[in-house]
Amino acid sequence: MLDAVGLGALMKFASHVERLHDRYSERVWGIICQDDVRCRLELMERTRRNMQTDHEEALKASQGD
């Protein structure tokens, strides 16, 4: 969605969600869904911003050489 995460990481996350579902069944599906939404809205955006800041700082540092 934000091109911040590679396909491998997304597939690993999907596999993790499937394992949670297999282990706990529908009893905790609401919690799994909530965790997925929060991860996408909060963690991925924060990670993207941090990576963008790091990239911009690295570009500035390389231009100063």
Q: What tens digit of pLDDT does each residue of 13-60 get?
A: 889 888 988 998 888 889 988 988 888 788 878 888 888 899 999 999
What pLDDT is attached to residue 48?
80
- In this structure, is residue 19 part of a structural domain? yes
- In this structure, is residue 28 part of a structural domain? yes
What pLDDT is attached to residue 3?
65
- In this structure, is residue 2 part of a structural domain? no
Q: Distance of CA 37 to CAs 23, 31, 40, Å?
A: 20, 10, 5
- Place 4 in a pLDDT band, splitting at 50, 70 and 90: low
- Structural domain boundaries enclosing 23: 7-63
Please check the confidence at residue 1 and state whether its pLDDT lies above 60: no
- In this structure, is residue 26 part of a structural domain? yes
- In this structure, is residue 44 part of a structural domain? yes
Q: Which of 64, 54, 15 is nearest to 7 (CA)?
A: 15
- In this structure, is residue 14 part of a structural domain? yes
- In this structure, is residue 58 part of a structural domain? yes
Please check the confidence at residue 2 and state whether its pLDDT lies above 60: no
Domain count, the chain: 1
